[in-house]
Chain A
Amino acid sequence: MSGLLRLLPDLVWLVPALPLLALLTVGARVLLGWARGDAAEPLTARLCAFAAFCSLALLLAIDLGALLDGAPGHRVLGTWFASGNWHGTVSFLLDPLALSVATLAALIGWLTMRFSANYLHREAGFHRFFIVLSLFLAGIQLVFLAGNGLLAFVGWEMCGVASFLLIGYAWQRPLATANALFAFVTNRGGDAGFLLGLGFAAAWLGSFEWPALTDNPDLPMLTARLLAVGFVVAAFAKSAQLPFTPWITRALEGPTPSSAIFYGAVMVHAGVFLMLRLAPLLAQVPDLLAALVAVGALTALYAWLCGLVQTDVKSALIYATVFQVALMFVAIGLGWTTLATIHLCLHAAWRAWQFLLAPSWLMLTQAAPKPAPAWLRRSQWLYTAAVERFWLHRLGITLLAKPTESFAHDMHDLEENFIDRVLGEPGRGEPLRPERPLIVGDGLPGKALAIVAERLQRLEDHLALRGRGGIGEKLLLRAGTYLRIVEHLLEQPRYLMMAVMATFVVIL
């Protein structure tokens, strides 16, 4: 029994792989046209729920082993790629932090799968939803369990894509797709940070493994700071801390279960998890810890103020979520990582329940919530700011999107009015001279070539085609005569023999 339990950690790759397998199976069914009508739904839902359940069961078994024998720790299962000093490995880090968060995520994932089977019955996007949810489960488990930054980054991206696809679940609504794009683009900022961190790790530590990053107490301050700052930005973006918060409030366009697992329960905590994972590294950089506290506190204040004015249940809940996630950042910044871990788990469990039951708010509540404190209630400015969500979204549009758009327009105009004209475009050439329609050219090189061609043709005309008696004709006739003589000579056997001999000489 215990031998079996000791074997299990090596099978941990199955935890993300099983949902992926379900994804592939369902995807194949959809592509082959086998997933049509009511009858196809139960199989899809059961496959995905079963895969999620197996992940959960496996994790529970590993947990049991960890309880009996201690956590398995860092496990390298294989090499992904290796080149010089660069090693990408398939490794998992099974410490108490990873196991507890991953188990909880697997449980919530399984429950959400079961919830969705009924909830999305007969939806046009039924199979699509399950495919994407499986992708998310695989991704988030990679984030939680991965033993190195590279694997975690793969999971990180899978979560991002899944989130994008589910915000745009109702793709017929322009607003839903616009918000999906907004969330996706905002998260790219965080991804850039993640990549930066990975790049520094590879360059300075020669490894992507988490232990290499965290068990390295003698890093120079600057190195540690640069290493960590990218990951901190990534965490802020994924967990919707300031200034990235607007994306999560616009992410509520998907079906209720997806709102629950992504933004209420699991994915929003991925940033917190990343900080917890890198806590020893962060501990070496006090100014980053201070930044965590500052940003967390600001976000908490922001989310609390905005949450007070929200009039729809999902928005009210999402601000409450961001508020508590921000508190976790504060806790990590203060060095209370255990508290943050416990808070993360408890919060995820409660929000899953609350988001899934958001439609029954009418029955769950009796009266209006306690009004805002008196000092706040009278402030028209703060109220307006909270309703406008402190203009963060508009600022983003004005400061980032608009200039980018103008820049793109300018580039387009530049290309169209200058570069295209200079370089020319295929098929748009015009004849230089109406009597020679064959010679066309557009743009500088095109026109230059056309001019050259035209000159050459004029030369040709001049030399050869000027009719009988031209210089060209005479020269050609004379050259033809000489050539005929040479040919005649070559047909003689002696010259043929000589050629053969010459060949042999060359060969030898």
Chain B
Amino acid sequence: MSQHQALPLRERLAHWVEHLAHVLPAQAPIRDFVHHNTLHGFQHLPFAEALAAAQRLTGAAAYLPEARFRELFAQGRITCDDLDAALDAAGIADLDADVRHGITRREVLLASLRVAPEGSGEAHRAWVAREYGAPENLVFARFSGSTATGAGEPADWQQTAAQRWSALCARVGDEWTLRSLLEHLTGEDILERVRTVLQRHLAAHLDLGVAAWRNPQRAQGFYAAWRASARIDMAWELNELPNAHDELVWLPDDPVDVLAETLPRLVADERLWPGYLQRLALELPGWSGMFLWRARHPEHGDGSPVAMADYLAVRVLLETLLCEDLTRRLTGAAQGLADLQAWFAARPAEFFVRDALRTRTLPEALQQRVVRRCRVGADNHVDAADWAALAAEIGNLPAPPDTTRVPRLAALLELLELSPGDLDMLTPEDADALLACADSLAPLVRGEIWLLAYERHYREQIFSALAANHPRRKPVAQPSAQVVMCMDDREEGTRRHLEELAPNIETYGAAGFFGVPMYWQGIDDSARSALCPVVVQPRHIVRETAEMGEAAAEARRQRRQRRLAWRERLVQGTRRGAVAGPLLTAAAAAPALAALVAGSLAPGWFGQAVQRWREQIDGKVTTRLQLTATAAAEVTPETPQTPIYSSHRRRPVSSASASLDSGLRRNDDSEINQRPPGAGAMTDTPQEGFTDDQQAARVETFLRMIGLTGRFAPLVLMLGHGSGSRNNPHLSAYDCGACSGRHGGPNARAFAAMANRPEVRARLAASGLPIPETTWFVAAEHNTCDDGIEWYDLDHLPAPFQSAQEQLLGQLAEACRAHAAERCRRLASAPLRPSPWLARQHVVGRGHDISQARPELGHATNAAAFIGRREMSRGLFLDRRVFLISYDPSRDDDGGIVENILLAAGPVGAGISLEYYFSTVDNERYGCGSKVTHNLTGLFGVMEGADSDLRTGLPWQMVEIHEAMRLLVVVEQTPEVLTAIVARQPALQELIGNGWIVLAAKNPSTATIDLHCPRRGWLPWTGAGVLPQVGRSADWFAGENDALAPAVVLRGMP
């Protein structure tokens, strides 16, 4: 930041705020929840370094707890071989060096990983020894005397105090705020005095539709609104801060001026300011992150201006007021950091005592005296001699002896499996050397090694499966139907079951917007929503219209509006209406109670009945898409709206979208533009529908991308997906990630409609992709929660295709039922070993059950992605853990197609996988905790209870069964082509080169597989392709409820 020193504060602030976007949670309002890399701001760093940096910043765990890894080790999910290979992969130095007596460093480290670094406590060990007798252990006998390190001479406390105080003061800025320092000194958290009300003001300013009454001054921005309230707030008097009123009256109107005025009072050193503001923002990461997100996406708000400077000004102001109050009580005068530093530097004894209270375990009697001494109060004057006496007493306490050494040594030696002879030869110096070697790995490195081993174990299984399946590859001779689904890991199961039931069906996978980025306005939607990956900005809008008489449609619309208006009146009126409230309550009570009873006893039946009633009330409607534009509208590339203080978009996204843009532009004329992440609306008007040329281009690009360029089956089904569940604030997180967290059915429907149009087919034929007359495209949507299928536009299906469609409908329904049975094995409340019918009934009930915190498990099982022909994986049981993306390497010699796929699917897959990873390894900090206490706030997020930080990330219920590992992407292409692609795409360099995903290449024609290691380049895989074989998937998963290894499924091969 030093280069900005000379700039005025306003411009420097803009840079600092820009930087904040990298460290604060970047979660959109919860309605637009889209998976993204939780640590997107660190993506320019290698994975391990990024995790370490994030841990330094937030204290969040980087890897699963070691205890969990050791549990997996005990289960055989990680083996010694995996750990061994992981040591190499992590690049640990001198692995084969001899430590003592021919024991290599590798052996010591392997053993040390398996020993818990901190065993049970001293008290527990002593208790075990008393209860069960001391362990009969040679090591204990030999080393318990010799290695008990005597307590060293207590150091001079005055020197210690001086060092410690300057060290603590140095932390202020990057690691601490003055509040944290004062909390350390006094145990009083000043933020607690204002946090609740600050949160209320923040929520009120950001609110998207809960509050009926807003701050009258909110149009002037957050600072002005807050100040208008704070000036007349009696809380200051009640908090014994009466001076605050005067301060607030004389403050400047511009938040930046406020910062310029108050920051120097707090911290005189300007160099500390950026770090200080960042730390201040990180004290309430959820609220800060949401505020920043809204500041950067003004189009998502309700018109109230949101600027980060407002927020920071309020935070700094509160910090200043409260810190000055506390220092006044502590020292008698209001002090900033510099003064405080000098004050305690002159009083080392007092500091030493206060510091000891926070950092050391004191004997109880002494602790009580220290606590009383340290109590902050105006009437608490203790003279220097008292402090000095206490400090000397504490300074003379002996250091506690290290009692963990011998147990650790014993456990280590046991795992090293030394012979008794070797043990006898072991001297205390040898033991020290062994322990030093075992302790040489930092906790983060240990975590990394465990993760690498964990990933390797799964990777070996996947590679074996691919190798074993290589000889079985066989194309479908005469497909009866081709089904194109989303690449989603959940659809792996659907596809497998469909193929098992109907071996002559071919399935394809692709990002679930099917190459049709568009705005969509359904017949019942009041606003349009973007259906495409978040990095893409659609330029077209497709509307759904009623295919009935104008009058009939209008009548239906009115009936529906009336029904919705009544619902709205009921829900809102019973909570805010003074007169209407009781009346509506009285009217609605009996039906509500009946609905609760029915929904509790038979959720599935009741949910479906309600849907039917709803349809009856609204009236049935047949709809059409307004798909075709008469002429291309003149489209000028839009300049993205720039929010105040944020001139650049975050790096990875913009580069990814830029390359995606260039990739798609080859077939199309520049109507894909960048969209700020998560944005659902934009300022200009999109074109209505697509022209014939644009439609043909989209269809052609997509079909070539998935490799469906010939041998068309009579029916090609485009199957989008979405998830329907009740009572679930995180609903969007279960929907299609490639459609900005919405349903992908409309895209499928639009694609099928385009591909059926004669005008489009004529153009396709002209460009060498003829689709025969005997082929018809149909569309449907798969509900991943209840495994239902909703078919579109069947009334337009030509008669010759009807029987084929009916057959496909039956097959798909049966596959979904079989899939439901497979899903049930991971759901604790589902019946054990259910029949497909029973399983489907269960998931239907689950989807409608308001008491379900886990309507489905989402992407919880994701672990890998295959980019290649389906033959590569067809006939493998992959446990719904793999994103399957269709791609035909035989028609893509230069890798142009796979480049586009990687650019589009890479960030989507990595986003999903990494969000799950982080929410799993530290659900408290990266995730949002348990759903059961969640409380929807302002329609943009959830809090725990009614007074907490805004919680971002995934709830614990979504990730509890997730296996936290990075996404393994296997591409059916040669390493050379992939190397070239990664080299020319900065976005992929970042993702792959920095190890955020793991890349492997499977040779298109042979069974060889190469793994890409960012450090060591391509490594050929040398395992054996041996796998268990089963008749059907159901034989493999029946009765199991944990993650399953891949298996070869015999049925379903063409």
A346→B211 contact, CB < 8 A = no
Beta-carbon contacts of B715-735 to A below 8 Å, as 1s and 0s?
000000000001111010000
Given A173-B944, A320-B576, A364-B571; A357-B213 close (CB under 8 Å): no
Q: Judge whether B232 and A360 touch: CB under 8 Å.
A: no
Query: In chain A between 249 and 270, which residues have their CB closer than 8 angstroms to a CB of chain B?
Result: 249-250, 252-257
A317 at the interface (CB under 8 A from B): yes
Interface membership of A230, Cβ < 8 A? no
In this complex, how many residues of chain A approach chain B with their Cβ under 8 Å: the count is 93
How far apart sit A395 and B238, CA to CA, in the bound complex (Å)?
A: 7
Smallest beta-carbon distance A488→chain B, Å: 60
Q: Is the CB of B935 within 8 A of A313?
A: yes
Nearest Cβ on chain B to A125's Cβ, whole angstroms: 9
Q: When chains A and B are docked, how far (Å) is the Cα of A484 from the Cα of B698? A: 130
Contact of A398 among B238, B581, B590 (CB under 8 A): B238
Of the candidates B210, B228, B575, B947, the one having the most CB atoms from chain A within 10 angstroms of its own CB is B575
Q: Is B491 an interface residue (CB 8 A)?
A: no
Q: Which of the segments A69-77, A90-98, A376-384 contacts the partner chain?
A: A376-384
Partner of B936, one of A173, A361, A370, A386: A361
Query: A359 to B216, alpha carbons, bound, how many Å?
Result: 29
Chain B contacts with A in 915-938, Cβ cutoff 8 A: 930-938
Would you call B933 and A169 a contact (CB within 8 A)?
Answer: yes
Tell me the chain B residues, 833-851 only, with Cβ under 8 Å from chain A.
849-851
Q: How far is the CA of A169 from the CA of B945 in the complex (A)?
A: 11
Roughly how many angstroms separate A309 CA and B567 CA in the complex, as a whole number? 22
The answer to whether B944 touches A312 (Cβ under 8 A) is no
- The reply on B310 being an interface residue by CB < 8 A is no
Min Cβ gap A454→B in Å is 27
Q: A312-B935, A387-B200 are in contact. Are A346 and B585 (CB under 8 A)?
A: yes
Interface members, chain A 357-415 (any B CB < 8 Å): 357-372, 376-381, 383-384, 386-388, 391, 394-395, 397-398
Among listed B17-25, B594-602, B672-680, interface-contacting one: B594-602
Residues on B with beta carbons closer than 8 Å to the beta carbon of A342: 586
- Contact at A366–B936, with CB atoms within 8 Å? no
In the complex, the answer to whether B204 meets A309 with C-beta atoms within 8 Å is yes
Q: Are B233 and A384 within 8 A (Cβ)?
A: yes
Given contacts A118-B829, A380-B216, contact A346 B586 (CB under 8 A): yes
B572–A370 CB distance below 8 A: yes
Whole-angstrom CA separation of A359 from B203 in the bound complex: 17
Q: Chain B residues with Cβ under 8 A from A394's Cβ?
A: 234-235, 238-239
A170 nearest CB neighbor, chain B only: B933
Contact assessment for B585 and A383 in the assembled complex, using a CB-CB cutoff below 8 Å? no
A117 contacts B851, CB within 8 Å?
yes
A249 & B212 in contact (Cβ 8 Å cutoff): no
Complex Cα gap A185–B204 (Å): 30
**Cα separation A175 to B207 with both chains bound (whole Å):** 23
Chain A residues closer than 8 Å to B12, beta-carbon distance:
none
Residue of B229, B585, B596, B853 touching A380 (CB-CB under 8 A): B229
Find out whether the CB atom of A38 lies under 8 angstroms from the CB atom of B207.
no
Evaluate contact between B851 and A114: CB separation under 8 angstroms.
yes
- What is the bound-complex CA distance between A366 and B566, given in angstroms? 11
Tell yes or no: A153 within 8 A of B by CB: no
Total A-B pairs, Cβ < 8 A:
265
User: Contacts A347-B589, A366-B564, A369-B209: A313 and B936 contacting too (C-beta < 8 A)?
Assistant: yes
Contacts A119-B932, A176-B945, A324-B581 given; does A362 touch B731 at CB 8 Å: yes
Q: Contact flags (1/0) for B302-326 with A, using CB distance below 8 Å?
A: 1000000000000000000000000
Instruction: Flag whether B427 is at the interface (Cβ < 8 A).
Output: no
How distant is the Cα of A324 from the Cα of B572 in the complex, in angstroms?
14
Chain A 309-345 interface mask (CB, 8 Å, partner B; 1/0): 1111111111110011001000000000000001101
Determine the distance from Cα of A249 to Cα of B200 in the docked complex, in whole angstroms: 13
Q: Give A256's nearest chain B residue, CB to CB.
A: B932
* Complex CA distance for A302 and B372, rounded to whole angstroms: 41
A350 within 8 A of B: yes
Known: A360-B850, A369-B572, A387-B197. Is A309-B948 also a contact (CB below 8 A)?
Answer: no
Distance between A341 CB and nearest chain B CB, rounded to angstroms: 12
Question: Does B852 lie at the interface of the complex (its beta carbon under 8 Å from any beta carbon of A)?
Answer: yes
> Given the complex, which residues of A lie within 8 Å of B596, measured CB to CB?
111, 352-353, 356
> When chains A and B are docked, how far (Å) is the Cα of A367 from the Cα of B210?
9
Cβ contacts under 8 Å, A42 to chain B: 829
A346 vs B567: C-alpha distance when bound (angstroms): 18
Could you say which residues of chain A place their CB within 8 Å of the CB of B31? 362
Contacts A111-B597, A362-B31, A377-B216; is A256 near B933 (CB within 8 Å)? yes
Knowing A366-B564, A395-B238, say if A384 contacts B229 (CB, 8 Å): yes
B204 and A249 contact, CB distance less than 8 A: no
Question: Is A287 part of the binding interface, using a Cβ–Cβ cutoff of 8 Å?
Answer: no
User: Least Cβ distance of B591 to chain A in Å?
Assistant: 9
Residue B269 lies at the interface, judged by CB distance under 8 Å to chain A: no
- In the complex, what residue of chain B is closest to A368 when comparing beta carbons? B209
Q: Flag if B582 contacts A327 (CB, 8 Å).
A: yes
The docked-state distance in angstroms from the alpha carbon of A423 to that of B932 is 53
- Chain A residue numbers with a CB within 8 Å of B567 are 364
Determine the chain B residues whose CB is within 8 A of the CB of A308 once the complex forms: 211-213, 576
Cβ–Cβ contact B203 & A312, under 8 A:
yes
Which chain A residues lie closer than 8 Å to B424 at the CB level?
Answer: none
User: Does A349 interact with chain B (Cβ within 8 Å)?
Assistant: yes
Note all chain B residues with C-beta closer than 8 A to A386.
213
The answer to the question of A441 belonging to the interface, with a C-beta cut-off of 8 Å to chain B, is: no
- Whether A254 lies near B213 (C-beta < 8 A) is no
Judge whether A116 is part of the interface by a CB distance below 8 angstroms: yes
- Decide if A100 is an interface residue (CB 8 Å cutoff): no
Scoring A323, A349, A358, A371 by chain B CB atoms within 10 A of each residue's CB, the highest score goes to A349
Complex CA distance for A324 and B583, rounded to whole angstroms = 11
Q: Is the CB of B30 within 8 A of A362?
A: yes
Let me know if B954 is at the binding interface, CB within 8 A: no
Q: What A residues does B30 contact at CB under 8 A?
A: 362
Rounded to whole angstroms, the CA-CA distance of A353 and B828 in the bound complex is 26
Best-buried of B217, B234, B931, B936 by chain A (most CB within 10 Å): B936
Q: How far is the CA of A346 from the CA of B587 in the complex (A)?
A: 8
Q: Mark B211-223, 1 if CB is under 8 A from A, else 0.
A: 1111111000000
| Cα–Cα distance between A350 and B214 once the two chains are bound (Å) | 27
Closest to B945 in A: A253
B234 touches A391 (CB 8 A): yes
Q: Which residue of A lies closest to B201 (CB)?
A: A387
* Cβ-defined contact, B234 with A347, below 8 A: no
Interface residues of A in 118-164 (CB under 8 A from B): 118-123
Contact with B along A98-119 (1 / 0, CB 8 A): 0000000001000100111111
A307 at the interface (CB under 8 A from B): yes
B947 contacts which of A169, A175, A317 (Cβ < 8 Å)?
A175
Whole-angstrom distance between the alpha carbons of A388 and B937 in the complex? 17
Residues of A within 8 A of B828 (CB): 38, 41, 121-122
- Would you give 6 A-B contacts (Cβ < 8 Å), ordered by A? A117-B851, A118-B851, A307-B575, A349-B592, A368-B302, A380-B217
- List 12 additional A-B contacts (Cβ < 8 Å) besides A170-B944, A313-B936: A116-B851, A119-B853, A121-B854, A170-B930, A309-B214, A350-B592, A357-B850, A365-B939, A372-B213, A384-B228, A387-B201, A397-B238
Q: Which 3 A-B pairs have the closest CB atoms?
A: A353-B592, A253-B945, A346-B589
- The residues of A with any CB-CB pair to B shorter than 8 Å are 38, 41-42, 107, 111, 114-123, 169-170, 173, 175-176, 179, 249-250, 252-257, 304, 307-320, 323-324, 327, 342-343, 345-354, 356-372, 376-381, 383-384, 386-388, 391, 394-395, 397-398, 416
Binding site for A on B (CB under 8 A): 30-31, 197, 200-201, 203-204, 207-217, 228-229, 232-235, 238-239, 302, 372, 526, 564, 567-568, 571-572, 574-576, 578, 581-582, 585-586, 588-590, 592-593, 595-597, 600, 726-729, 731, 828-829, 849-854, 930-939, 943-948, 957, 960
